Amino acid sequence: MWSATLPGAVAAGPVVTSSAVWVGTSASTLVALSPASGAVLSTITLPGVPGGGGQYSGDPSDIGIGNNVLVVPTGSTVTAFG
């Protein structure tokens, strides 16, 4: 087991793939963590806070993954990585 310190509070995710644990943070970043150790593999700056940024009255949108594409909603923007 492991724990990781992130640049902000968890705002979206986590989403787990074979290569990384992806977490969106309140610091407008997407962080990839090693599934084995929790070490930070990469940090990507997003155009806003992921998960809808608190704009919605219901549950916020979250990170999605499928067909080798990772999709992160940030307010009115959707960013895709693949």
Assess if residue 75 is contained within a domain.
Answer: yes
Res 79 pLDDT > 50: yes
Task: Give me the CATH number covering residue 20.
Answer: 2.40.10
- pLDDT of the residue at 37: 95
The residues that bridge with 6 in the sheet, in sequence order, are: none
State yes or no: pLDDT of 60 exceeds 80.
no
Residue 33 covered by a domain: yes
Is the residue at 4 inside a domain?
no
Q: How many domains does the chain have?
A: 1
- Residue 27 belongs to some domain of the structure: yes
Q: What is the mean pLDDT of the chain?
A: 85
Q: What pLDDT is recorded for position 66?
A: 87
The pair phi, psi for residue 46, each rounded to 5°, is -105, 160
Domain housing 76:
10-81
The answer to the question of residue 55 being in a domain is yes
pTM of the model: 0.81
CA distance 5 to 3: 7
The string of pLDDT tens digits covering residues 29-55 is 999 999 999 999 999 999 988 876 455
Any domain includes 68? yes
